Structure 1
Amino acid sequence: MSNNSVLANWIDGKLSLGASKNLSSVYNPATGEVIAQVALSSQEEIDAAIASAKKGFKEWSGYSIAKRQAVIFNFRELLNSRKEKLAEIITREHGKVLSDAMGEIARGQEIVELACGFPHLIKGAFSENASTGIDVYSIKQPLGVVGIISPFNFPAMVPMWFFPVALAAGNSVVLKPSEKNPSAALWLAQLWQEAGLPDGVFTVLNGDKLAVDGLLNSPDVASISFVGSTPIAKYIYETAAANGKRVQALGGAKNHMLVLPDADLDLVADQAINAGYGAAGERCMAISVVLAIDTIADKLIEKIKSRISQLRVGNGADKQEPDLGPLISQAHLEKVSGYVTIAEKDGAKVVVDGRNYSVENHQNGFFFGPTLLDQMPTDSKAYTEEIFGPVLSIVRINNFDEGVALINSGAFGNGTAIFTNDGGAARRFQNEIQVGMIGINVPIPVPVAYHSFGGWKNSLFGDAKAYGTQGFDFFTREKAVTSRWLDPAQHGGINLGFPQND
C-alpha cells in the first residue's frame, strides 16, 4: 500500500470511491509515515450505502436459518485460515504488536463462533391452550438495517462484537470504522463476500462526523451500536434515541485494581503490567489505577518498577516483537503526555516517565513509554478522566472499605478487579462494587462470547450490552401471536363481553 492509495467504501459488494474529494491521512504509527488516504463520504455516498443495505436486507432476511448459518460458518473458516494477514493490517495501521493483534482477532472470532449457533438463540416460545382453544406464541424477527460505529483501538474485534450477531439474526449491516485505520473493515467485507453473503448485506461506510450523523438520522437505520469515548457515546445515544432507534453506546472507563495485603504481590505486579501497558494502554478495559493498601504500596511499586525496566517498546511488526507499540497518532501522544504533566503538577510522583520516549530508527513514530505515577491525587484530572495510554497510577488507601468507596464514587463503571486470597473479601467486592464487569484475581475481565460485555454509569448508554444473549435480544424484535383455529363442530356464538380465561 502506498501513500498515494485511496481507501474507498464497500457498497453493493464492491469498492466504491464515489465523488468525494475529502480525504484523511492514514498513518503507520510506528514510523509516522502516511501510508494511505481514506475518502470521507459525502451525503450522497452515505445515502447510497444505506440504500444498498436496505436492499440487501430484503434478500438476506428471506434466507432460511440453515442457509444463513452456512454463510456464517464459511466466514468463520475463512477468517481462521487468513487471520495472520488481518493481524498484519491491524499492526500496520494501529501499531499494536502482532501477537496482540492476533489476540484481538481470536476474541472477535469467539463471537463469530457464537453466531454459528444462533438458531437456538432466536427461537420463540409457545404456550398451547393458553385459553380454551387459543395458543400464544412469540417469534423473533430482525430489525432491518443496523449501524455499527467502531473505534480505532480494536478495528477488528469491536466490529465483531456486533456484526456476527446482527447478521445471524437476519439484519444487514453498515459499518463505519475509524478513519484512522479503516483497512481491517474493508478486508472483512471482502471476506464476507467470499463466504457467500449477498451484496449489500455488509457495507463499509468510511467517513467522519457527517457519516456518523447520516446513520443516526436516517429513517432507514433501525439501530446503532457504538464503542468510543463517553462524550461521543452520550451524543450517539441521545441523537439516535431521539430518532426512535435502538442504541447500545459503550463509552469510556477508568478501571481500578484493588490490592489487599494478603495478595500475591508478584502476581499483582505481573498483572498490573499486563493490564496497564498492553496495547499501549489503548483499551477501554485497561487497568489505569492501582488502589494499594498503604502497608504494601512501597513493595508493590518496586516490583512494578523493576518489571517496567524490562519492557521493550518498538515497532509491533518487528521480527523480535516488542512488548508494546506506539500510540495511534501524534495528537493522542501529546494528549497522554499532557495528562502526566497535569498529574505531576497536582502532586503525583513520577516514578517512571514515558514522555519524550525514543525508539531507535523510528524517531518519527508515536511512541510513549510505560509510565508509573505514585501518590496520585484523586481530584486530579489525570485520575478522574480516561487517559487511554500506558500510564499506571498508584493511589494509596487505608483499607478495603476506602477502596470500594473510591471506585463507586467514580463517574465510570466499566471494569474493575480485586487481588486477594480472601474469599470473603472477594465476595463482598463483587456484591458491593458498582461496576459492570468484575475480575477476581483477573485484571481484564472481558466476558467470554456467551456472556455479554458492558459497563454501568457513564460507561454504557442504551438498551443492551454487546454480544451474548443480550446481543441477540438487541438485534431482534419480538412479536407475540395469539391464535385460535375453530373446531368446525363447535362454534362459540356471539359474546360481547370482555374476553376471559374460562
Structure 2
Amino acid sequence: MKYPKIRNYVGGKFVDASSTKRIPLISPVNGDLLSEMTCSTDGDLNAAVAAAKAAFPAWSQTPIKERVQVFFKYKNLLEKHQLELSELCSEENGKIYSESVAEIEKCIELVEFATSLPQLVTGEVLEVSRGVECKTERVPLGVVASIVPFNFPAMIPHWTIPNAIVLGNCMIMKPSEKVPLSCGRIAALLKEAGLPDGVFNVVHGDTDIVEAICNHPDIAAVSFVGSTKVAKIVYQRATQNLKRCLALGGAKNHLIVLPDAISSMTAQNVVASMSGCAGQRCMAASAMIAVGNVDHIIEKICEEARKIVAGKNLGAVINKASQERIEKYITEAVEQGGKILVDGRNTIVAGKEGGTYVGPTVIDFVTPDMNIAKEEVFGPVIGIMRAKTLDEAILIENANPYGNAASVFTQSGSAARYIMEHASAGMIGVNVGVPVPREPFSFGGWNESKFGVGDITGKSSIEFWTKLKKSTIKWNPEATVNWMS
C-alpha cells in the first residue's frame, strides 16, 4: 500500500475504527492499491459525537470574530499544500491533475466566503417601544454531520466544513468510502490552523454508518450529497428522527442549443461540460436538446470530443462497476435507435491498463423515453435529442424529474430569457455549460435534485446551520407599561 491504513479522526487524534469490515482503496488511475479503510461501528460514531459535544460549549461561546481566525490560517495552509492536495485528489478519484488543482482552488474560495460570515450574521436591534428593544442573533445548532460523495473528495466537504464551523457548530464528517484520503489530510490541516480538538471529526464507513448518523439523537442536522435514491432515504430517515436535513441528489442537466449559437464556443462548452471530471459531477451536461437545424454545431461538438483523450485530458471513472454501468447505457441507447457519433467504450490507456476509463461519447437521435435520456449516467456521455421549437425543448426539459441545471446556447436575448423563465432547474446558464454559481451565490437545485429547504453553500447556508434567537430587553422600570412592554 502506498499510504498507511485509513483511520478515523476523533477529538484531535487519528484512531482506529473498531469493526472487522475492511474496504481496499484502489486507484482508478491505474488499479494500484493505495490503502485500506476499516468501517466504523455505532460505538466509533458515539465516540466522535461525544468529542464534538464536549468541544461545543467552548467553541460556540467563542466570538465569531475569533472563530474565523482559524480559517484565515487554514486558507493559507490550503494554498501552501495545494500541490499535495491536488495529487492526492487525482490519485484516489481518478480526475486529471488540472481538475484537481481547480478543485482545491474552489476549496480556497469556499473558505474565503466563510471568513466573511462575521459581516453577514450581525443580527438586528430595534427599539420597539420607549426603553424597550428587540434583538435577533444567529446561534449554532450543536453537533452536525456532513455526508459527502466520491466525485469531489475535497471540494464537497468544503461546501459544509467552513460555514458550519465558523457559525459555531461542531462537525462529524463522513467521507465516501471510495475516496477517504483527502478528508484525513483536511483534518490534519485544520488542526494545524488551530481548530480546537473535537470541533471537527471524521468517521469512515459505508451504509451502516450513514444510517447511524441519521439515527443518532445528539446530531442536530445532517447534510448529504449523493444520488437521488440515497438522498431521499437520508432525508426521510433524518427528518423522521426530528433532525434538520438538506440532501442533494442527482441530476440530468439539459443544454438547449439553438441554430444561432456560436458554433465554436458552444461546442467547446458542451464538450467541457459533458467530459470534465469524466462526467462525474452533478452539474455535468448529459442531455442536449438540438432545436431546429443545428447539425453544423453537432459536427463541431464531435470534433471537440475527439480531442478529449483518456489518460491525457480525460480522467478515469471511479471504479470498474461505474465503467461497466456507463458502457451499458451507451450500448442500450444504440439498441433503442440512438446513433453513436463518438464512441468511448472499451477505452484502455497504455501503461495504465488497470485503470477504469470511458472515452467521450456523443449519441444522436436519443428520444426522451430512453434510459440514457432519463437517468443520471455519471460519465463522459451526452445524448442529443431533437426538438422543432423552444416550447418542445422546454417540455422535454420540464418532464425530467431532476432540477439541478439547465443551459441555453443562443445569441437571442429573448430566447435566453424564455429558457431562464421556463426551465425547471435551480441553476440556469446562458452560453455557459456548467452554471455553478460563484460565492457568495449559493449552490442548489430543484425538484428531485434537492430535498430540504435552502442551499448548501453561500448566504443561504446560514439559515441551515443556525437557529434564530429573539430577545426583548427592558431596563427602564419607570417607563409606562403598555401592550408592547
TM-score range, shorter chain: over 0.9
Report matched runs for 1:1-150 at 5 Å.
1-2=1-2, 5-128=4-127, 130-150=128-148
**Does residue 166 of structure 2 align to residue 168 of structure 1?**
yes
Conserved? CA contact 1:340–1:382, under 8 Å? yes
Mapping of 1:45-444 within 5 angstroms?
45-128=44-127, 130-296=128-294, 298-314=295-311, 322-444=312-434
Q: Deviations over 1:227-277 (max 9, x none)?
A: 100011111111111111111111000001111111101111111110010
User: Residues 191-246 of structure 1, C-alpha deviation per residue, up to 9 Å, x if partnerless?
Assistant: 00000000011101100111111111111111111110001111111111111111
| CA distance in 1 between partners of 2:329 and 2:473 (Å) | 63
Q: Tell me if structure 1 keeps the 8 A contact 2:326–2:379.
A: yes
Answer yes or no: is the 8 Å Cα contact 1:246–1:463 preserved in 2. no
- Quote how far apart the aligned CAs of 1:41 are: 0.3
More displaced 10-residue stretch of structure 1: 59-68 or 108-117? 59-68
Which AA in structure 2 matches 1:307? E
> C-alpha separation between the residues in 1 aligned to 2:34 and 2:479?
77
- The whole-number CA distance in structure 2 between the counterparts of 1:126 and 1:140 is 13
**Mapped partners of 2:36, 2:337: distance in 1:** 42
Contact 1:223-1:247 at 8 Å conserved across structures: yes
Contact 2:130 2:479 (8 Å CA) reproduced: no
Identity of aligned residues (%): 39
How far apart are the structure 2 equivalents of 1:202 and 1:332? Answer: 31
Distance, in Å, in 2 between the alignment partners of 1:335 and 1:27 is: 18
Match of 1:317 in 2: none
DSSP 3-state at the match of 1:239? helix
- Contact 1:59/1:198 (8 A) holds in 2: no
Deviation string 1:295-344 (CA, Å, 9 cap, x unpaired) is 11x22221111222222211xxxxxxx11111000011111111111211
Distance of 2:108 and 2:231 partners within structure 1:
25
Residue 64 of structure 1 deviates from its aligned partner by 2.0
Contact 1:290 1:394 in 2 (8 A): yes
- Give, in whole Å, the separation in 1 of the partners of 2:484 and 2:175: 53
Which residue does the alignment assign to 1:318?
Answer: none
**What letter corresponds to residue 35 of structure 2 in structure 1?**
A
What SS is found at the alignment partner of 2:353? coil
2:135 is aligned with what amino acid? Y
Q: Cα 1:501–1:47, aligned 2, differ >3 Å: closer, same or farther?
A: closer
SS in 2 for 1:61: helix
Answering whether residue 447 of structure 2 is matched by residue 500 of structure 1, we say no
Equivalent residues, number: 485
Q: Point out the more displaced range, 207-216 or 148-157.
A: 207-216
- Output the CA distance in 1 between the equivalents of 2:2 and 2:116: 40
Output the CA distance in 2 between the equivalents of 1:490 and 1:327: 71
AA paired with 1:301?
I
In 1, distance between residues paired with 2:122 and 2:240?
30
Amino acid paired to 1:171: N
Letter in 1 for 2:400: G
Q: Give the conservation status (yes or no) of the 8 Å contact 2:17–2:39.
A: no
TM-score of the superposition, structure 2-length normalised? 0.98
Q: Secondary structure at the match of 2:90?
A: helix
Where do 5+ consecutive residues of structure 1 fail to align?
A: 315-321, 493-498
Task: Give secondary structure in 1 for the equivalent of 2:61.
Answer: coil
How far does residue 85 in structure 1 lie from its aligned partner after superposition? 0.5
Q: Deviations over 1:390-411 (max 9, x none)?
A: 1011111101111111111110
AA at the equivalent of 1:107: K
Asked if structure 2 preserves the Cα contact closer than 8 Å seen for 1:346 and 1:377, the reply is: no
Q: For 1:420 and 1:307, how far apart are their aligned partners in 2?
A: 19
Q: Match of 2:152, as an amino acid?
A: F
Aligned partners of 2:79, 2:115: CA distance in 1, in Å? 14
**Superimposed CA distance per residue, residues 338-376 of structure 1 (whole angstroms, 9 cap, x where no aligned partner):** 111121121111111111111111112101111110000
How far apart, CA to CA, are the structure 2 residues paired with 1:309 and 1:385? Answer: 24
Change (3 A) 1:480 1:365: same
Give 1:500 deviation, angstroms.
Answer: 2.9
**Structure 2 CA distance for aligned equivalents of residues 132 and 409 of structure 1:** 57
Say which SS state the counterpart of residue 221 (structure 1) adopts. coil
C-alpha distance in 2 between matches for 1:75 and 1:501:
47
Q: 1:491 Cα shift?
A: 6.2
Distance 1:419 1:311 in 2: 21
What's the CA shift for 1:289? 1.1
CA distance in 1, matches of 2:332, 2:409: 29
Go from structure 1 to structure 2 and tell me whether the alpha carbon gap of 1:490 and 1:281 turns closer, same or farther (over 3 Å shift): closer
Spell out, residue by residue over 1:28-76, the C-alpha distance to the aligned partner (whole angstroms, 9 max, x if none). 1011122210111011111111111111212211212222121111101
Residues 421-441 of structure 1 deviation map (CA, whole Å, 9 limit, x = unaligned): 111111121112111000011
Q: 1:501 offset after TM fit, Å?
A: 4.5
Q: 1:468 aligns with which of 455, 458, 467?
A: 458
Query: Could you tell me how far apart the structure 2 residues matched to 1:18 and 1:480 are?
Result: 42
Q: 1:141 Cα deviation (Å)?
A: 0.3
Q: Deviations over 1:83-132 (max 9, x none)?
A: 1110000000001011100111111221100111111122211111x134
Aligned partner letter, 2:131: G
Give the CA deviation at 1:133.
3.1
Relative to structure 2, which stretch is displaced further, 457-466 or 304-313? 304-313
